[in-house]
Structure 1
């Protein structure tokens, strides 16, 4: 399955954009090095894409779309899209702002 990922490092919190995505979550990360590594579950950390972020606490919003098509495609040809947005922000609790639920199959 292809997963397309876009990463934006911002100066401040972006507008929500929740209506454009199936699932949106936010979490705080402490990044003292100022280097954020982004990799998939099968990727190798030394080869991961790296992004400069302000050292300290950042907020990361992960927005996902194409989930229904990807879940319904047993061959894995449908693609999912992920947008990661990171900006400096004090630590806060994780938050789910839009929750996608896999449709149940009818018997």
Structure 2
């Protein structure tokens, strides 16, 4: 499973160095200092949401200077695409369905 994490760093900390440090953590795919509501935007992966949560809480949230994190889980539909496409196509007469 993949999720994105918004990370807030306390004022005065080196955000770029913090992003570089976070990038080294196992399970972190990418981490960038950004100019937005958060200071660092990271992509993380784990087998399931529990793994994502543990990664964020045990390896990112505990870093000195990290003041808050928000997990944005990705919702993946690829596993269901074939069955959804089949269901949609079966609704229409042959050749009359929507372009997929």
TM-score by length of 2: 0.30
> Relative contact order (alpha carbons < 8 A, sep ≥ 6): 1 or 2 greater?
1
TM-score by length of 1: 0.28
The structure whose residues are more often strand, as a share, is 1
